[in-house]
């Protein structure tokens, strides 16, 4: 997930911070293991693994949770996922924390001492493998949270479920994976079914800054493929065939008019982007077929479906009007990442205590997508952003997520450990259940 986000000031939330988070104790525990968390992060960074192939990563996580004497440690969930259950010393509800584990097919160019040198075959091509989206930081942070909370389990009022998830960036072709498969495999069900779930994502803003947005925070993401079928002919005699390249150009221009002219974007943002055009192999041959691929990003479900319908109608009618045909395939992907408003209101003051400057910030909608959304469709969820930009770099020069130059500032990791630990404890303390005698 590529993240480019700016922050505006948070409106102060009119609720006092609950003392149950035990801030000083959490801070001390997180500071004590800071070097461990950094070492874990750098190790994962040096040994990245693609989605559904996180074998080494999963083994390290499972070993760590077992060493901490977790009550349950389940492996091979949704292929390579790890789920750990930590039962507190006091009765109470269940809360879930999630980290994603997969890297990307990106050849690292950071020059770091611990830079990835891993390579693999991806879609038939040799490529490097890199934690270019910061998932190595997410894993290390959640492992740190596991250690912080395990040392204080006698004081925990309920149960914490740790979800280490593979394939957030998407499963390999022909496979299922990610949060959707984790949910299908029952991680939100059973005796340890959580009542809420929390997660975070690192990004290229000042280290230690925390941002979030109530309600729709990140976009729904759908894949788009349009195949234009014409009739091949000599480039010198276009009238003897049907030119799918010209039709494709008209389709692209017409589809761009959906967002700019047919959708009320004052209600919610929307984006339709074409990322590839493929057709033909010689300048003097009009090909029989052109394929367009792209992405659709929306924040409103009705708008999402309307854009799908309009693309289908416009592409087919433009093609038909030119004597060609169009086949439209829309692969419905991640839903909107939705932050439960009540959780956002409750957790804002908790995050303030650890955020740079003493205040978490409201972010505008982020047009990147996140499969954390599948969990938040089932139970109340809260997802926030953590800045990890290297020190001394201008904001407009920081490499974004998915860049081969993306670098995580390790000084921000302890902020993530403190924040995730505290929101989990706060939720447990304020959502107590009545235990019958």
How many Cβ atoms sit within 10 Å of the Cβ of residue 346? 21
Give the domain CATH number at 42. 3.40.630.10
Q: Do 400 and 264 fall within a single domain?
A: no
Choosing from 310, 332, 354, the residue where a domain stops is 332
Q: Do 194 and 244 fall within a single domain?
A: no
Q: Do 276 and 409 fall within a single domain?
A: no
Q: Which of the residues in the chain have pLDDT under 70?
A: 1-21, 433-437
> Domain count of the chain?
2
Q: Tokens 């000083």 correspond to what residue?
A: 24
Choosing from 332, 366, 390, the residue where a domain stops is 332
Choosing from 332, 361, 388, the residue where a domain stops is 332
What does the pLDDT read at residue 8? 39
Q: Do 190 and 261 fall within a single domain?
A: no
CA-wise closest residue to 96 among 415, 430, 435, 383 = 383
How many Cβ atoms sit within 10 Å of the Cβ of residue 329? 11
- At residue 391, φ and ψ (nearest 5 deg) are -70, 145
What does the pLDDT read at residue 2? 42
- The range of the structural domain enclosing residue 231 comes to 220-332
Kindly report the pTM of this predicted structure: 0.91
Read off the DSSP letter of residue 259. Answer: I
Over the stretch 279-330, which tens digit does the pLDDT of each residue have?
999 999 999 999 999 999 999 999 999 999 999 999 999 999 999 999 999 9
Give the domain CATH number at 288. 3.30.70.360
For residue 435, being part of any structural domain is answered with no
């Amino acid at each position: 997930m590529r993240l480019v986000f700016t922050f505006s000031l948070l409106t102060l939330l009119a609720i006092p911070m609950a003392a149950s988070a035990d801030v000083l104790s959490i801070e001390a525990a997180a500071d004590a293991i800071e070097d461990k968390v950094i070492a874990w992060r750098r190790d994962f960074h040096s040994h990245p693994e693609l989605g559904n192939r996180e074998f080494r990563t999963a083994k390290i996580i499972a070993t760590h949770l077992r060493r901490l004497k977790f009550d349950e440690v389940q492996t091979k969930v949704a292929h390579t996922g790890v789920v750990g259950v930590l039962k507190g010393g006091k009765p109470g509800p269940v809360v879930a924390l999630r980290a994603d584990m997969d890297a990307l097919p990106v050849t690292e160019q950071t020059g770091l001492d611990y830079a990835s040198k891993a390579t693999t075959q991806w879609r038939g091509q040799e490529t490097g493998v890199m934690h270019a989206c910061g998932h190595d930081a997410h894993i290390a942070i959640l492992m740190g949270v596991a250690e912080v909370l395990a040392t204080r389990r006698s004081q925990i009022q309920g149960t914490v479920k740790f979800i280490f998830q593979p394939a957030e960036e998407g499963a390999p072709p022909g496979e299922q994976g990610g949060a959707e498969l984790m949910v299908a495999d029952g991680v939100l069900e059973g005796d340890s079914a959580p009542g809420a779930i929390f997660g975070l994502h690192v990004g290229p803003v000042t280290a230690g800054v925390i941002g979030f947005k109530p309600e729709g925070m990140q976009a729904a993401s759908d894949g788009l493929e349009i195949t234009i079928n014409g009739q091949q002919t000599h480039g010198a005699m276009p009238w003897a065939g049907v030119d799918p390249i010209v039709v494709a150009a008209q389709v692209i221009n017409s589809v761009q008019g959906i967002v700019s002219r047919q959708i009320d974007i004052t209600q919610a943002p929307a984006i339709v982007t074409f990322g590839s055009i493929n057709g033909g192999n010689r300048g003097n041959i009009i090909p029989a077929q052109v394929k367009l691929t792209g992405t659709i990003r929306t924040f409103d479900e009705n708008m999402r479906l309307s854009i799908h319908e309009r693309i289908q109608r416009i592409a087919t009618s433009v093609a038909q009007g030119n004597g060609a045909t169009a086949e439209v395939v829309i692969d419905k992907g991640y839903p909107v990442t939705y932050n439960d408003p009540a959780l956002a209101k409750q957790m804002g003051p908790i995050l303030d205590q650890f955020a740079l400057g003493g205040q978490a910030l409201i972010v505008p909608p982020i047009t990147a997508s996140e499969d954390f959304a599948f969990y938040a469709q089932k139970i109340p969820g809260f997802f926030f952003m953590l800045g990890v930009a290297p020190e001394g770099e201008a904001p407009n020069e920081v490499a974004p997520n998915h860049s081969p130059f993306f670098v995580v500032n390790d000084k921000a990791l302890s902020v993530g450990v403190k924040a995730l630990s505290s929101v989990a404890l706060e939720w447990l303390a304020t959502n107590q259940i009545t235990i019958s005698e």
